[in-house]
Chain A
């Protein structure tokens, strides 16, 4: 069995979109869930959020940022290739029903992960404010898609190159100070960004959901490698999450665990049969 790539499109210099034929994943996929894929026999199992799905066509879309070996190899594939494995949908769907006014915050690639949630909230009739942040204007992704699913879209850049300078937390704070009453904040992005959002929302007492993305292997609760400490308890991000109450996450331990395989991942690309010879 293999999984055909039906579409591949660059969103910016580092981020691309890939639509894959996987009917058994598409049939039950929901926002907040993810898949695990393997490119080939030699590959690592790597998780990606389900950015979109089409139950009728039986396809699932992922949006990938190139950061290391597997994502670099993946970037080389085209709509003539297939993936050897594509399993899911995994994780618990984000509970989005019954929310009235929500701020969805995306940092960089996190924007892509947040997109399906904004879309579903919008379809459920919620008032959606999307705040996304990028390093500079060339890295902005999904602007048109986000516009369609939000009542208000704020895009901010670290260097101000799109005309609005600052971090997502600056923008969120402005909105709250202006008197916007969010009943929930959903923050997705790098750990430090999510932590910053949580520190802010805690001050204002706004419930905040974050999406954790620790290193995973099986994605079915079998290895425990994805454990995160939530409210003092060990949870497995792949089966109990990946979404958790951001005010209860032990951020220090999460940041430490992210470092675990760093040096090996570099080696994988340097000594491994790096299929594209970069690095």
Chain B
């Protein structure tokens, strides 16, 4: 008999007023009892609509029923048939827009907590399970992967399992991409990411850090000089956009990337144990409404800022961030200034930020993206006193590879143009993830890596 409760088992989490002062994970995860109880809410639907909502088609009813039967390891193995990073996806997928949005239990009441259960199975495995990696039989072919974000990691893992000799080239000193330098510890503990990466190493994937493709090695040289048979580009969308308004070069104005990199990758929150400093003022404004903005605002709060604002030009409904992150941010005391847009930054005589002028907005006609376009209300300007600003209005792909590679087509935003298999304009070169789509999601980046791995295998098998 299924559990007919209309509500999901709530997620145990740290108290908002405690967690907004530490970098420990906000949510602590289901216990066995909670997981089994939640799993019993699943109706095991024949046509499993939830699966259609998942970009990598995780076998949702199957794994959930295994949890209900307390076969946790089997549940984990079922998930990893199609998703190699369940501990990550269970935590960061926008489930409300994906799998859970399609769940029939969501029609009346809350959907099954698919993400939470996925995380449970992965965490259970990490604690109790054993990884039995068998190194596959090498097939004698070599593939290079550029970038070690979720997209590159997935492609590398799949290719290694098929017997390819895979090397990942990563520009930074640590592998993991945005999972390491963007998403903060309190949302995605870094040891989880590192465990996933060490599994890949067990599979025989070679990771070369500190190598910038387009600088240290040109893309074409990977074929000519290094003898690779194919290349997968998963270099992400790391180039921060600025707003182009007055005062952006003032001290105290950061891009979200700089702010979060200092904190996450360089562990600035442990300064001065670690050498990299982060400047945090008393009053911090973060501009933007996505996951990146939420992460920046919540990090600022944790580093001791008194007032942290999110300034977003549309309304609450339109915030692109995961619902859970918006809720957590509100609970932690982040102040939302919706329907407002900055017009200029104001500095003191020494070039330090002391305020920002914002203008009120209203929503007009829908634009090309179908969302209603925000329009400024003349004369509604006011000044907000701030000493730190974090600009988080989007990112586009870095031009390093594009500028040094012939025959690689990119669009206006600098994204590599690729077909549905991730094959761009150049022979034996594939691409996927944020570098193709522009800033998107972890699971889409993984899906692209998976598809491309398959396409690469098909093409190289013909060779």
A residues touching B (Cβ–Cβ < 8 Å)?
Answer: 1, 24-25, 27-28, 38, 42-45, 69-70, 84-90, 217-218, 220-225, 227-229, 234, 239, 250, 252-253, 255-257, 259-261, 264-265, 267-268, 271-273
Contacts and interface: CB of A to CB of B under 8 A. Distances in A.
A229 B253 CA distance: 14
B241 to A, nearest CB: 9
Main secondary structure of the interface of B (DSSP, over half): loop
Given A222-B398, A224-B242, A69 B255 contact: no
Given A88-B215, A234-B249, A273-B273, 16 more contacts: A24-B217, A27-B216, A28-B215, A85-B173, A87-B171, A90-B215, A218-B171, A220-B215, A221-B239, A221-B398, A223-B258, A227-B248, A227-B249, A250-B249, A265-B277, A268-B277
Highest count of chain A CB atoms <10 Å: which of B209, B217, B251, B399 = B251
A218 B261 contact: yes
Highest count of chain B CB atoms <10 Å: which of A221, A222, A272 = A222
Contacts of B279: 260-261, 264
Interface of B: 171-173, 208-212, 215-218, 238-240, 242, 244, 248-252, 254-255, 257-258, 261-262, 266, 271-277, 279, 350-352, 398-400
Nearest to A240: B399
Contacts of A27: 216
A87 B173 contact: yes
Contacts of A264: 271, 277, 279
22 contacts: A1-B209, A24-B210, A28-B216, A38-B173, A44-B266, A45-B173, A85-B210, A87-B173, A87-B209, A88-B212, A88-B215, A218-B171, A218-B261, A221-B400, A224-B255, A239-B398, A253-B351, A256-B251, A256-B350, A257-B249, A257-B351, A264-B271
A86 B210 contact: yes
Nearest to B235: A220
Lowest 10 A-B CB distances belong to which pairs? A256-B351, A264-B277, A272-B272, A223-B258, A87-B210, A224-B255, A44-B275, A222-B238, A85-B173, A225-B258
Contact of B400 (A44, A86, A239): A239
Given A42-B275, A227-B249, A222 B239 contact: yes
A44 to B, nearest CB: 4
Contacts of A234: 242, 244, 248-249
A220 B258 contact: no
Nearest to B247: A253
Given A264-B277, A264-B279, A24 B216 contact: yes
Contact of A225 (B216, B248, B254): B254
A85 B211 contact: no
A225 B273 CA distance: 22
A68 B231 CA distance: 41
